[in-house]
Amino acid sequence: MAKTAAQKPRTKYVLDDKDIPAKWYNIQADLKTPAPPVLHPGTGQPIGPQDLAPLFPMELIKQEVSRERWIEIPEEIRSVLALWRPSPLYRARRLEKALGTSARIYYKYEGVSPAGSHKPNTAVAQVYYNKREGVTRIATETGAGQWGSALAMATTFFGLQCKVYMVKVSYQQKPYRRIMMETWGAQVVPSPSPDTQAGTKVLAQDPDSPGSLGIAISEAVEDAATRDDTKYSLGSVLNHVLMHQTVIGLEAKKQLERADDEADVVIGCAGGGSNFAGLSFPFAADKLTGKKKKLRIVAVEPAACPSLTKGQYVYDFGDTVGLTPLVKMHTLGHTFVPAPLHAGGLRYHGMAPLVCKLYDEGVIEAVAVPQIATFQAAMTFARAEGIIPAPESAHAIRVAIDEAERCKREGKRQAILFNLSGHGHFDLGAYEAYLAGKLSDYEYPAEKIAEALRSVPNVRG
Amino acid sequence: MAKTAAQKPRTKYVLDDKDIPAKWYNIQADLKTPAPPVLHPGTGQPIGPQDLAPLFPMELIKQEVSRERWIEIPEEIRSVLALWRPSPLYRARRLEKALGTSARIYYKYEGVSPAGSHKPNTAVAQVYYNKREGVTRIATETGAGQWGSALAMATTFFGLQCKVYMVKVSYQQKPYRRIMMETWGAQVVPSPSPDTQAGTKVLAQDPDSPGSLGIAISEAVEDAATRDDTKYSLGSVLNHVLMHQTVIGLEAKKQLERADDEADVVIGCAGGGSNFAGLSFPFAADKLTGKKKKLRIVAVEPAACPSLTKGQYVYDFGDTVGLTPLVKMHTLGHTFVPAPLHAGGLRYHGMAPLVCKLYDEGVIEAVAVPQIATFQAAMTFARAEGIIPAPESAHAIRVAIDEAERCKREGKRQAILFNLSGHGHFDLGAYEAYLAGKLSDYEYPAEKIAEALRSVPNVRG
Q: Are strands B296-302 and B265-269 parallel, antiparallel or unpaired?
A: parallel
pLDDT range class, residue A202, cuts 50, 70, 90: very high
Q: Is the per-residue pLDDT at A2 higher than 70?
A: no
Q: What is the architecture, at CATH level 2, of domain B82-116+240-453? A: 3-Layer(aba) Sandwich (3.40)
Give the model confidence (pLDDT) of A42-82 as tens digits: 888 999 999 999 999 999 999 999 999 999 999 999 999 99
User: Inter-chain contact B386–A12, Cβ cutoff 8 Å?
Assistant: no
Chain B residue with the nearest C-alpha to that of A82 = B11
CB-nearest partner of B17 from A12, A386, A432: A12
Q: What single DSSP character describes residue B83?
A: T
Shortest distance between the Cα of B141 and any Cα of chain A, in A, equals 21
Q: Is the per-residue pLDDT at A146 higher than 70?
A: yes
Helix (H) or strand (E) holding A356: helix A353-360
Domain boundaries, chain A: 26-73+119-239, 82-116+240-453
Shortest distance between the Cα of A431 and any Cα of chain B, in A, equals 7
CB neighbours (10 Å) of residue B64?
A: 18
Q: What rounded mean pLDDT belongs to chain B?
A: 94
Give the model confidence (pLDDT) of A403-421 as tens digits: 999 999 999 999 999 999 9
What is the reported pLDDT for A3?
Answer: 42
How far is A66 from B13, CA to CA, in rounded Å?
35
Sign of CA dihedral A363, A364, A365, A368: negative
What is the reported pLDDT for B90?
Answer: 98
Residues of B at the A interface (Cβ-Cβ below 8 Å)? 9-12, 14-17, 79, 82-84, 90, 94, 112-116, 153, 156-157, 175-176, 179-180, 182-185, 379, 382-383, 385-388, 425-426, 428-429, 431-432, 435
Q: Which of B127, B379, B428 to mutate to test the interface with A (most CBs of A within 10 A)?
A: B428
Average pLDDT estimate for B249-272 = 97
How far is B169 from B185, CA to CA, in rounded Å?
22
Q: Residue B378's closest CA among B111, B12, B13? A: B111
* Beta bridge partners of residue A105, listed in sequence order: A416
CB A298 within 8 A of CB A397: no
User: Inter-chain contact A112–B112, Cβ cutoff 8 Å?
Assistant: yes
Give the model confidence (pLDDT) of B173-208 as tens digits: 889 999 999 999 999 999 999 999 999 999 999 999
How far is B113 from B36, CA to CA, in rounded Å?
33
CB-nearest partner of A383 from B112, B156, B176: B156
What is the reported pLDDT for A443?
Answer: 66
Q: Which of B183, B381, B426 to mutate to test the interface with A (most CBs of A within 10 A)?
A: B183
The CATH number given to B26-73+119-239 is 3.40.50.1100
Helix/strand/coil (H/E/C) assignment for every residue in A51-84: HHCCCCCHHHHHHHHCCCCEEECCHHHHHHHCCC
Give the model confidence (pLDDT) of A9-23 as tens digits: 899 999 999 999 999
How far is A130 from B429, CA to CA, in rounded Å?
32
CB B211 within 8 A of CB B168: yes
All residues of chain B having their beta carbon less than 8 Å from the beta carbon of residue A112 are 112
DSSP B341-389: -S-GGG--SS--HHHHHHHHTTSSEEEEE-HHHHHHHHHHHHHHH---B
Alpha helices in A206-290 (DSSP H): 213-225, 239-244, 247-258, 274-288
Model confidence, pTM: 0.96
Q: In chain A, what percentage of residues exceed pLDDT 90? A: 84
What is the reported pLDDT for A6?
Answer: 42
What is the reported pLDDT for B342?
Answer: 84
Q: What rounded mean pLDDT belongs to chain A?
A: 94
How far is A16 from A133, CA to CA, in rounded Å?
31
Give the model confidence (pLDDT) of A75-102 as tens digits: 999 999 999 999 999 999 999 999 999 9
pLDDT range class, residue A164, cuts 50, 70, 90: very high
What is the reported pLDDT for B426?
Answer: 95
Average pLDDT estimate for B347-363 = 95
Q: Which residues contact B123 (CB under 8 A, 6 or more apart)?
A: B115, B147, B150, B151, B153, B154, B233, B235
What is the reported pLDDT for B323?
Answer: 79
All residues of chain A having their beta carbon less than 8 Å from the beta carbon of residue B180 are 388, 428
CB neighbours (10 Å) of residue A344?
A: 24
- Which range is least confidently modeled, A144-153, A312-321, A380-389? A312-321
Shortest distance between the Cα of B327 and any Cα of chain A, in A, equals 35
* Beta bridge partners of residue B161, listed in sequence order: B137
pLDDT range class, residue A8, cuts 50, 70, 90: low
What is the reported pLDDT for B1?
Answer: 38
Give the model confidence (pLDDT) of A175-197 as tens digits: 999 999 999 999 999 999 999 99
CB A397 within 8 A of CB A417: no
Q: Is the per-residue pLDDT at B5 higher than 70?
A: no
What is the reported pLDDT for B8?
Answer: 64
- Written as one letter, the residue type at B217 is I
Q: Which residues contact B110 (CB under 8 A, 6 or more apart)?
A: B87, B117, B118, B121, B248, B275, B419, B420, B421, B422
Same fold, A26-73+119-239 and A82-116+240-453: yes
Average pLDDT estimate for A425-447 = 91
Average pLDDT estimate for A200-219 = 92
Phi first, then psi, for residue A418 (nearest 5°) are -135, 160
Q: Are strands B312-317 and B265-269 parallel, antiparallel or unpaired?
A: unpaired
Q: Is the per-residue pLDDT at A385 higher than 60?
A: yes
What is the reported pLDDT for B422?
Answer: 98
What is the reported pLDDT for A343?
Answer: 83
| Beta strands, E only, B153-212 | 161-167, 187-191
What is the reported pLDDT for A448?
Answer: 85
